[in-house]
Structure 1
Amino acid sequence: MGSTRYIASMGELTRKDNSLCFRKDGKNVYIPIEGTKEIYCLNEVSINTKLLDFLSSNNIIVHFFNYHEGYSGTFYPRDKYNSGRLLVKQVQAFSEKRLDIAKAIVKGIGVNICEVLYHYYKHNKKEVKETIDWIKNEFFNRVDGSSNIKELMAVEGEVWQRFYSDFKYILPEDFVMNKRVKRPPDNPINALISFGNTLLYTKTISAIYRTHLDQRISFLHEPSEGRFSLSLDISEVFKPVIVYRTIFDLVNNKKLKVEKHFEKKVNYCLLNEEGRNIFIEAFEERMESVFSHPKLKRKLSYRTAIKLDCYKLIKFIIEDKEFIPFSLKDGM
């Protein structure tokens, strides 16, 4: 799937000459190093330091997932894109302009949720108009009026909540969500959202790695130890566009079915292997799908759009050029 390799089975990943070799059940599967930028380990995979050194010298990122399809962590090659000047500026922006950047991100979330809902409004789901009107008439004013991050996060929480409450008009009954439950997800829709958000988060980690931004200094989310919080910031505006549109398409076109593609245990629900493969394929297709960028006058993929948002943030930090995250409506 493009520059991304997914490993869904248990096995051992090693270096073999100038290639990667995945060994499972006594058989070898060779993965060319050429063109590989990131690897997803979705099962128990054994590795050694010789392999890590090889991955690092080829700037390949590896994302690890646990049994509950949750994100465990990332092997991150040594930073070759370090920039002391930008780091100083990024810290400065956090102390002086954090609220401005955070407001831009939350507005971006609202713009893209509105656009996704409008698609369904046009297709006779008139009930979603209430949320669309609330976003247009109240949400943006409340974002502008927020005087601190806590107030802003409350408005962000409300726009997501209203979006979730509209799922009953968009999805069939067996995929309706009572409430958002994350760790672990407790029903099929929560399982899809958690897995999709985690894939997007890790895609954003990979995008940021290839810029000079520092992953640890975020603006909307609190910078915290143990996670790349800037990836949470950058990925937020893409969730409605990439994760939720993928979910709605797969469910409404009956490519994912509750009885066929999920494992339900006592207090959690996960995609089974077939369901996971279907989701990954659709997610990758969406990442690679293109749209026309009005300013650049060329076609871009959503994968490139994520990286472009990183560069927009750098422009704001260094040149004070207004930061407007990706908008589905404007295609930029």
Structure 2
Amino acid sequence: MRNSTRYIMSVGELKRKDNSISFRNEKGNFYIPIESTKEIYCLNEVSINTKLLDFISRAGITIHFFNYYGHYSGSFYPKEQLISGKLTINQAKTYTEKREIIAKSIVQGIADNIYEVLYHYYKHDKKDVKLTLDWIKQDIPRYLENENINIKQILSVEGELWQRFYSCFKYFLPETFVFNKRVKRPPDNPMNALISFGNSILYSKTVSQIYNTHLNQSISFLHEPSEGRFSLSLDLCEVFKPVIVYKTIFELVNNRKIQVGKHFDKELNYCLLNSAGKKIFIEAIEKRFESVFYHSRLKRKVSYKTAIKLDGYKLIKFIMEDKEFRPFSIKEMV
């Protein structure tokens, strides 16, 4: 199946041309096939007009915009068709009454997937990660099984989980990609640049997948619901970060497809992927999104991109039918 995502990496103008989409830059006109396009990512300064927006809205195409630093700025997507007042009311009720249950499930899901990623390196003689593996296996469930744990404590557990994950990078990555702490805005070294760019792509992909459900994007459970962002997308993308973003990064770095001397622009206090680096990273992460696995519950093959939407459906089942919410597990492939 042809990839339905298009990336625009240069400055230019995006407009409607007859019954097609045209992108014009200094090199000329390029046409984007509307029939096979579902998402357009604008990674540079791109001019658009309302004529184009009306056209892509009727075609069901979403446009995501990113700023200079590669961070997600916002999306334009077609008028929502999948609106359910009943679900929205119950989603809000679930937030007030059962927020901690969902938040704990998400953090446990993050832990399970981080465990599987690190265990891969443990099996390949990186025994120094064992301390973190044992902590995830023994302590995370103990923390989360506490019925009196509140949302701040759950977020604290999540924060420590990510920090322990980062501390393991030095055991299986080249020294040039090891970092001391997570810095987001702007990223200050090559690893932070890769993580920020990958997380932004995953987040926007999650926005698109939730759009295809009846869920309300603004009502979240792990992250605090906030004005000006789709906080539910932040929730659902978390368990996929180890599987999609970090596995992509580790493979590109360890196979020397991404190199510090070739693929980054460094300024006084920040570090960004250059155009060549972005192209390599985008190709790799899109390949991962579109790769398929056998879903043990559905008894058929699905892509990792579809798995994000399936987690949305699981959440709906919890909200409407009180069925257990267990996010995607790379070990169980459900």
Task: Calculate the TM-score normalised by the size of structure 1.
Answer: 0.99
**1:68-87 matched pairs, under 5 angstroms:** 68-87=69-88
What amino acid maps onto 2:15 in structure 1?
T
Report deviation, 1:253.
0.2
- Distance in 1 (alpha carbons) for counterparts of 2:166 and 2:300: 34
1:26, distance to aligned residue in structure 2 (A): 5.8
Aligned positions of 1:310-325 closer than 5 A:
310-325=312-327
Deviations 1:263-300 (A, max 9, x none): 01001000000000000000000101111111111111
2:156 counterpart of 1:132: no
1:298-325 CA-to-partner distances (Å, cap 9, x unmatched) read 1111011101000000111111110000
For residue 51 of structure 1, what is the amino acid of its counterpart? L
C-alpha distance in 1 between matches for 2:286 and 2:297: 25
SS in 2 for 1:72: strand
Alpha-carbon offset, residue 72 of structure 1: 1.1
Q: Which runs of 5+ in 2 are unaligned?
A: none
- Following the alignment from structure 1 to structure 2, what is the Cα–Cα distance between the partners of residues 294 and 239? 21
Cα offset for 1:32? 1.0
Matches within 5 A, 1:1-332: 2-25=3-26, 27-145=28-146, 147-332=149-334
**1:170, 1:214 → 2: CA distance?**
40
**Alpha-carbon distance between aligned partners in 2 of 1:324 and 1:139, rounded to the nearest angstrom:** 15
Output one character per residue of 1:120-161: Cα deviation in whole Å (capped at 9) or x when no partner. 000110000110000111111112226210000000000100
Aligned residue for 1:237, secondary structure, equals helix
**Runs (4+) of structure 1 moved beyond 3 Å?**
none
Where 2:23 maps in the other structure, the secondary structure is strand
Q: How many residues align?
A: 332
In 1: Cα distance, 2:260 partner to 2:23 partner: 31
TM-score (norm 2): 0.98
Distance 2:27 2:288 in 1: 34
SS of 2:145's equivalent in the other structure is helix
One-letter code aligned to 2:327: P
| Alignment deviations for residues 233-286 of structure 1 (CA, whole Å, 9 cap, x no partner) | 000000000000000000000000000000010010000000000000000001
Q: Distance in 1 between matches of 2:237 and 2:133?
A: 22
Identical amino acids, percent of aligned pairs: 68
**Amino acid in structure 1 at the alignment position of 2:10:** S
